[in-house]
Structure 1
Amino acid sequence: MKKFSTVLTILIVCLLAVSIYKYKNPPAQESITFFPIDPKVNFIKTETILSPLNKPTNFILWTIHSTLDQKAYLRQDAGLLFANGRLTGQLSDWKQNTAALIQDDQIATEKSTLLQAITFHHAELHEKGDQIFSSQAMSADQLYVVHSNPFKTFRVPSNKNEEQWKQQLDAETERMLQLSWNNGIRYFSIPLKNYEVLPFSQFHERAKTTLPGFSKPETARIVGNLWEGLYKNYILGIKKADGTIITPLGSTIPLILLAKDKTHLLVLTETGKGEPILLRQIIEEAD
């Protein structure tokens, strides 16, 4: 009986130890959560690449690769691919206790297309004293795909024919997006004079330094919180006003509206069925 009691005591202690460990080290989940940026940790490589495959010729290889300068508790990369202004593909991966992630997909194109890919690279860092920090970066690429004879692709036009294709695809995409965004602005009665307007396709470049009216730490927090919100409310599915969740595929490139009073931002998009969607996010003060 004494031996049984001893074994039972050891078992209880082990169970308590496991419970305490799980409490302090909860299992990672597939999500993006912003934490204060750790300036000592950096990405040494981040890339989003769109490149043609030799066979079949109408396929494009979409590759996302990132490497942190150390292993992280959690590494995540989330990428969005737009074709002529509408979401056509998503890539998302996460792993624990690693520094690098790489993923790719083959995209079939049926017509001449402007492809635009944007990726958020994120690391969650657990440090001593139960402190949690982040490291983050963005990368992007775009490619013009022309279904002519012969089939060709280019990033920057190198001749008159390619320049004409660029102008045509840019104009078609811009016309569709402007119509969609204007419909959404009217539908939600958004006072544009109160906002700085940034198409999401330009957000990567604009956020490299600082966003209009914001410091570098404030910009980092806005970028991290924006992608956290996009992941939960866009990438994993768009939640409509009636509570139903629909796929984001086919939706337009989001329009980011930064309030000039620095209190919030809006994310405006349109579903594949033409329904305007508006997300609102409070802008928190940087630490």
Structure 2
Amino acid sequence: MKYIWVSICVSLLSLTLFYFYQVTKEESVVKYFPIDEEVKFESAETSLSFQEGEGDDEYEVGWKIKSKSDEKVYLRQDVSLLYVNGRLKGVVNKWKENADEINKHSTLHGEDTKKYEAVTFHHGEIHKDDDVINSIQATSGDLLYIIDSPHSNRIAFKKPETQEEEKWKNKLDHSIHQQLKAQWDELKAYYQIPVEQYEQVPLTDLPSYNEENPFPYIPQGQYNRISGQLWEGLYKNYVLGIKDAKSKHPIQSYIPLLLFDKKGKHLMVLYEDDQGEKNQLIQYY
């Protein structure tokens, strides 16, 4: 079944640099190939961690991506996106040839109350002979709440375990959701999206889906293909725009919104960069 990616931009402005960008000099390419039946991922993980900083008003956030296949493959690659309070903070894009493992740890400076969300696509390209190319893939993610308020002790958690943590989580989630909703509503109105015909999913929710729990309304048994092609399009249109950026300030763009057609024909990705450039990607199944 063929697929088509359409990228619609309101101007030719290039995307802006993220706060944090790591990549080797030559870009690799994330490309979907049929899933290999023999090679598997032994592990595929994303983790966010909290460390106290040197000053009372500062702290550090560890951002780690790690994956290992059960044998060396032609190309291993992990692409990770980090959002802070709903806005893009950075991207890590690491790849190796003839390798089985990717392991990358980064540390970011933080301050004030924040919600950190990371999502990672783990990919491997397998060349068994000149004519056959297969792949392996997995998606992982993590989140971390850090509460840094003058009215309470600094706390960090992934899942609330006390009433105080639950209160802070709900307060922060509500504030972030209101900002995201305003951004997404503007994009849906701009592209005249009939919202009742779509299931809406934030990009940061992708790790909650897998072959056993597939995307909503997609054809049965097609999760791996659609997920792989989705990340292929995101990488080409959303991630690689970073390196050609002109602006010197952070992009701070909001989390993209995915819309899954309830008729099972296509999906869309909507996002806007910090200069107001609106983007719509369409993937037909």
Question: What SS is found at the alignment partner of 1:233?
Answer: helix
Cα shift readout 1:215-256 (whole Å, capped 9, x = no counterpart): 5641111111111111111111179xxx99879831111111
- Post-superposition shift, 1:100? 0.2
- Post-superposition shift, 1:276? 2.9
Q: Which amino acid aligns with 1:273?
A: Q
- Post-superposition shift, 1:179? 0.6
- Give 2:50's match in structure 1, choosing from 31, 45, 52: 52
User: Normalising by structure 2, what TM-score?
Assistant: 0.82
Question: What SS is found at the alignment partner of 1:72?
Answer: strand
1:80 equivalent to 2:84? Answer: no
Change (3 A) 1:66 1:185: same
Larger Rg: 1
Distance 2:277 2:242 in 1: 11
Distance 1:197 1:271 in 2: 20
Q: Which amino acid aligns with 2:214?
A: T
Distance 1:270 1:29 in 2: 24
Structural mapping, 1:1-287, within 5 Å = 30-56=28-54, 58-148=59-149, 149-208=152-211, 209-215=213-219, 217-237=221-241, 249-283=251-285
Match of 1:11 in 2: none
* Bigger mean CA deviation after superposition, 195-204 or 51-60: 51-60
After TM superposition, the runs of 4+ consecutive aligned structure 1 residues lying more than 4 A away are 243-248
Change (3 A) 1:142 1:275: same
Change (3 A) 1:223 1:167: same
* Bigger mean CA deviation after superposition, 64-73 or 198-207: 198-207
Q: Which amino acid aligns with 1:181?
A: W
Cα shift readout 1:188-207 (whole Å, capped 9, x = no counterpart): 10111222221112222134
In structure 1, runs of 5+ residues without a counterpart are 1-27
Identity of aligned residues (%): 38
Cα shift readout 1:89-132 (whole Å, capped 9, x = no counterpart): 11110000000001121112222111110000000000135200
Question: What SS is found at the alignment partner of 1:168?
Answer: helix
Higher helix share: 1
Q: Relative contact order, CA 8 A, sep 6+: which one is greater?
A: 2
Change (3 A) 1:163 1:231: same
Match of 2:9 in 1: none
Cα shift readout 1:168-187 (whole Å, capped 9, x = no counterpart): 11001110111100010001
* Bigger mean CA deviation after superposition, 32-41 or 191-200: 191-200
- Post-superposition shift, 1:278? 1.4
- Post-superposition shift, 1:275? 3.8
Cα shift readout 1:26-74 (whole Å, capped 9, x = no counterpart): xx95110110111221111111000012444511000000000110100
Distance 1:83 1:231 in 2: 20
Change (3 A) 1:244 1:265: farther
In structure 2, runs of 5+ residues without a counterpart are 1-25
- Post-superposition shift, 1:162? 1.2
Q: Which amino acid aligns with 1:140?
A: G
Change (3 A) 1:90 1:36: same
Say what the alpha-carbon RMSD is for the aligned residues: 2.3
Question: Does structure 1 retain, via aligned residues, the 8 Å contact 2:217–2:261?
Answer: no
Aligned residues: 253
Q: Which amino acid aligns with 2:46?
A: T
